[in-house]
């Protein structure tokens, strides 16, 4: 554990001089990240201390199919790869919020940028770090039986350490430590899965299959049925299934899975060497996020059902920690605790750097201090990192439920997603569209919470009805507002189109004014690559499941489907790359 902390600090100190040159270096690594490092950094950030616990809880209560609660987000993630990764890199901006004033015009654009800088960079970001802190506290509590009051101080020390190397090294140090921490953490999780499987209490994969009900190993939820209990299958109503598969992935804003990209995912795309590296970074992220990460956690989650059958519903997630505590020998136990710190710190480091970029670049620099030198802004960024850490620690003490924080964030962003997608491809979207889609879900969510608190149990508005209400009302409202308000200034639209070249029929009024600007977009090719990529990742994911727990026939089917979709994906990517090179402004 000490060795891990020394290595992490050493990386931060090594990159501290490079980060101090400018905010471009501090927040975007000088736009010089290779695709594999940017992709690893994205995956590491989404692997937080709460992730293995959340997967364990899903598996223990809903079976393997319970992971569809997050597997559905692949569809939107793959959309980002082929429709938005190039555009983000091509925009040449420092933060995704800077896009607001590149795309929109006037005071509404400035107000929107300033509001989102504080709302996302300070408020939402602190909530996310707070729930990550709560999860890490649960790990230490379950592992060492440390009282909750004392655990807070251990978390504070870990966060201070993370803020120290983050503030010193900027994104270069964060990305490199992310890569180191992800490889370290995933290797440790694989070790835990192997040790637990080989224990006499489990007896390998075959032992799991003999002990647990067959339904637990299903890869797909049952649609339209009732749940069969703690060890039953994941059953969804038709409405809930529709919400997950057809609505949530494009409609809801969620950190790391923003429709159209955004947040720290956009930050990594914008920090890559060029557009090709941007595409490959996000593609690698989708494959690693959905195919490589889950199975070690799922296997331990299944084993926890056998090892700790008496855990209550709220305690199921602790099965992962108890397996570490009870089955790992000295040395390996320290390795896994260090791995959880690695997962924790990679997430916290990214959120500190990302949130600071909003507060400093999109608020302080934009509205308060416009004419300072770069070193002053870097110093302000380092100070803001520490302040943001203090705010997150303060919120940690009042967050009692990780799932409650998750629900708050995903429903407060419901309905915003379509604006974030269409602002790239429809000229008529304006600042008032995004303002409406940002504010209205918060008001509607608050209204639903008040309704549920004051109404009878039979009149409660729960998911997925709450999601449909928020998304439907928000989407209708922002479209009406768009058509009733003035469009963005033509000069701003022309400048945006000339820089990003998104193409498409919905830009025709603007593209007709710019006959010299040739778009490299091929919507048919991008759609083919999107579908093929989605099928490939799901086939790879389910093929691994069949390899571990399924039949040979089903395994062959998934392998054939993965091979076919992979071949189509490869051809589509090559054609898109050739077309982009043909129309590149640098050629």
Distance CA 97, CA 345 (A): 25
pLDDT of residue 90: 93
d(CA 150, CA 157): 11
Q: Nearest-CA neighbor of 175 among 265, 49, 74, 256?
A: 265
Q: What is the pLDDT of residue 238?
A: 65
The reported pLDDT for the residue numbered 405 is: 57
pLDDT of the residue at 124: 84
Most confident of the following: 132-141, 243-252, 512-521, 531-540? 531-540
CB distance 405 to 127 below 8 Å:
yes
Is a pLDDT exceeding 50 seen at residue 109? Answer: yes
- What was the pLDDT predicted at 400? 56
d(C-alpha 103, C-alpha 434), whole Å: 11
The Cα 273–Cα 138 span in angstroms is 39
200/575 Cα distance (integer angstroms) = 53
Whether 277 and 34 have beta carbons less than 8 Å apart is answered as yes
CA 223 to chain centre: 26
Beta bridge partners of 33: 272
User: Which residues, in sequence order, are CB contacts of 134 under 8 Å at separation 6+?
Assistant: 50, 396, 399, 400, 402
The CA distance from 451 to 447, in Å, is 6
What's the pLDDT at 568?
A: 96
pLDDT of residue 587: 34
Q: Give the confidence band of 231 by pLDDT, cuts at 50, 70, 90.
A: very low
In this prediction, residues 20-45 reach a mean pLDDT of: 85
Stretch 7-26: mean pLDDT, rounded?
76
Higher-scoring residue by pLDDT: 169, 162? 162
Residue 228: is its pLDDT beyond 50?
Answer: no
Percentage of residues of the chain with pLDDT beyond 90:
41
What is the C-alpha separation between 58 and 563, in angstroms, rounded? 29
pLDDT tens string 259-277:
888 888 999 999 999 999 9
- The mean of the pLDDT values for the chain is 86
Residue 517: predicted pLDDT: 85
Indicate the pTM of the whole model.
0.89
DSSP string, 31-87: G-B-HHHHHHHHHHHH--TTHHHHHHHHHHHH-GGGGHHHHTTHHHHHHHHHHTHHH
Predicted local confidence at residue 372, as pLDDT: 79
**How much is the pLDDT for 19?**
63
**Judging by beta carbons within 10 Å of its beta carbon (0-12, 13-18, 19+), is residue 115 exposed, middle or buried?**
middle
- Asked if 125 and 354 count as a contact pair (C-beta separation under 8 A), the reply is yes
Check pLDDT > 80 for residue 573.
yes
Q: Out of 91-105, 218-232, 327-341, which region has the weakest mean confidence (pLDDT)?
A: 218-232
At 473, is the pLDDT very low, low, confident or very high (cuts 50, 70, 90)? Answer: very high
pLDDT at 565: 96
Could you report the per-residue pLDDT of 497-540, keeping only the tens digit for each?
A: 999 999 889 999 999 999 888 877 788 999 999 999 999 999 99
Q: Mean pLDDT throughout 97-114?
A: 95
CB of 297 closer than 8 Å to CB of 38: no
Look-up of token digits 């790992």: 328
Report the distance separating Cα 360 and Cα 368, nearest Å: 10
Q: Does pLDDT of 583 surpass 60?
A: no
| CA terminus-to-terminus distance, the chain | 50
Residue with tokens 């941007």: 278
CA distances from 281 to 186, 268, 276, 402, 519 (A): 19, 8, 9, 29, 22
pLDDT confidence band for 467 (50 / 70 / 90): confident
Mutual orientation of helices 523-549 and 74-83 as an angle, nearest 10°?
140
Rounded Cα–Cα distance for residues 55 and 43 (Å): 16
H helix or E strand, kind and range, residue 235: strand 235-236
Q: What is the pLDDT of residue 197?
A: 93
pLDDT digits (tens, 9 = 90+) for 47-91: 888 889 889 988 988 889 888 888 988 999 999 999 999 999 999
Average pLDDT over residues 534-551: 93
Longest CA pairwise span in the chain (Å)? 73
Does the pLDDT at position 234 exceed 70? no
**Which two structure tokens, joined as six digits, stand for 569?**
């994906």
Question: Which pLDDT score is estimated for 358?
Answer: 92
pLDDT at 584: 55
pLDDT digits (tens, 9 = 90+) for 395-418: 877 665 555 556 667 777 788 889
- Tell whether the model's pLDDT for residue 115 goes beyond 90: yes
Alpha-carbon gap, residue 169 to 179, rounded angstroms: 15
* Per-residue pLDDT at 292: 84
Residue 171 has pLDDT above 60, yes or no: yes
List of residues 6+ apart from 446 with CB closer than 8 A: none
CA pair distance 396, 125, nearest whole angstrom? 12
Instruction: Report all structural domains of the chain as residue ranges with CATH numbers, in order of start.
Output: 2-412 (1.20.1730.10)
Comparing 153 with 149, which gets the higher pLDDT? 153
Q: 80 and 261 in contact (C-beta within 8 Å)?
A: yes
Decide if pLDDT at 297 tops 90: yes
- Residue 458: the pLDDT is 75
d(C-alpha 304, C-alpha 255), whole Å: 29
Three-state secondary-structure class, residue 233: coil
Residue 342 has pLDDT above 60, yes or no: yes
Q: pLDDT at position 406, please?
A: 62
């Amino acid at each position: 554990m000490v060795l891990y902390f020394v290595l992490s600090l050493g990386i931060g100190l090594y990159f501290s001089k490079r980060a101090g040159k400018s905010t471009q270096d501090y927040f975007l690594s000088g736009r010089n990240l290779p695709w594999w490092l940017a992709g690893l950094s994205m995956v590491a950030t989404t692997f937080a201390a709460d992730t293995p616990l959340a997967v364990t809880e899903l598996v223990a209560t809903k079976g393997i199919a319970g992971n569809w609660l997050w597997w559905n987000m692949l569809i939107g993630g793959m959309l980002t790869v082929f429709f938005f990764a190039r555009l983000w890199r091509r925009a040449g901006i420092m933060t995704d919020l800077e896009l607001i004033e590149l795309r929109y015009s006037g005071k509404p654009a400035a107000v929107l940028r300033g509001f989102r800088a504080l709302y996302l960079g300070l408020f939402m970001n602190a909530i996310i770090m707070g729930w990550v802190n709560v999860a890490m506290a649960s790990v230490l509590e379950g592992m060492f039986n440390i009282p909750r009051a004392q655990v807070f101080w251990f978390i504070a020390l870990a966060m201070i350490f993370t803020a120290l190397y983050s503030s010193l090294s900027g994104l270069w140090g964060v990305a490199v430590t992310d890569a180191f921490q992800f490889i370290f953490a995933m290797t440790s999780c694989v070790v835990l899965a192997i040790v637990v499987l080989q224990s006499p209490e489990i007896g390998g994969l075959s032992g799991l299959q003999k002990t647990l009900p067959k339904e637990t190993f299903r890869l797909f939820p049952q649609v339209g049925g009732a749940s069969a209990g703690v060890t039953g299958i994941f059953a969804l109503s038709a409405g809930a299934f529709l919400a997950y598969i057809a609505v949530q992935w494009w409609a809801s804003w969620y950190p790391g899975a923003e429709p159209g990209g955004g947040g720290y995912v956009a930050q990594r795309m914008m920090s890559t060497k060029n557009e090709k590296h941007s595409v490959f970074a996000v593609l690698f992220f989708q494959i690693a996020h959905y195919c490589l990460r889950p199975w070690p956690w799922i296997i331990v989650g299944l084993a926890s059902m056998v090892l700790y059958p008496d855990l209550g519903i709220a305690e199921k997630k602790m099965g992962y920690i108890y397996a570490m505590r009870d089955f790992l020998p000295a040395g390996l136990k320290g390795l896994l605790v260090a791995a959880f710190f690695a997962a924790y710190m990679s997430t916290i480091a990214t959120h500190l750097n990302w949130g600071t970029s909003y507060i400093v670049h999109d608020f302080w620099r934009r509205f308060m201090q416009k004419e300072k030198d770069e070193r002053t802004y870097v110093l302000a960024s380092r100070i803001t990192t520490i302040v943001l850490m203090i705010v997150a620690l303060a919120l940690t003490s009042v967050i009692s439920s990780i799932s409650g924080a998750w629900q708050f964030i995903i429903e407060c962003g419901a309905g915003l997603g379509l604006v974030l997608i269409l602002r790239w491809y429809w000229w008529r979207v304006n600042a008032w569209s995004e303002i409406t889609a940002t504010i209205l879900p918060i008001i509607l969510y608050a209204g639903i919470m008040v309704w549920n608190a004051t109404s009878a149990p039979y009149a409660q508005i729960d998911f997925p009805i709450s999601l449909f209400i928020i998304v439907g009302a928000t989407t209708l409202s922002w479209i009406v507002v768009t058509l009733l308000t003035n469009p963005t200034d033509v000069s701003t639209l022309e400048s945006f189109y000339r820089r990003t070249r998104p193409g498409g029929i919905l830009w025709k009024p603007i593209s007709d004014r710019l006959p010299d600007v040739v778009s490299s977009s091929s919507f048919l090719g991008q759609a083919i690559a999107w579908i093929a990529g989605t099928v490939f990742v799901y086939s790879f994911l389910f093929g691994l499941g069949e390899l571990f727990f399924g039949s040979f026939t089903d395994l062959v089917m998934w392998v054939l489907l993965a091979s076919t979709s992979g071949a189509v994906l490869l051809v589509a990517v090559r054609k898109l790359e050739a077309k982009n090179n043909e129309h590149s402004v640098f050629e």
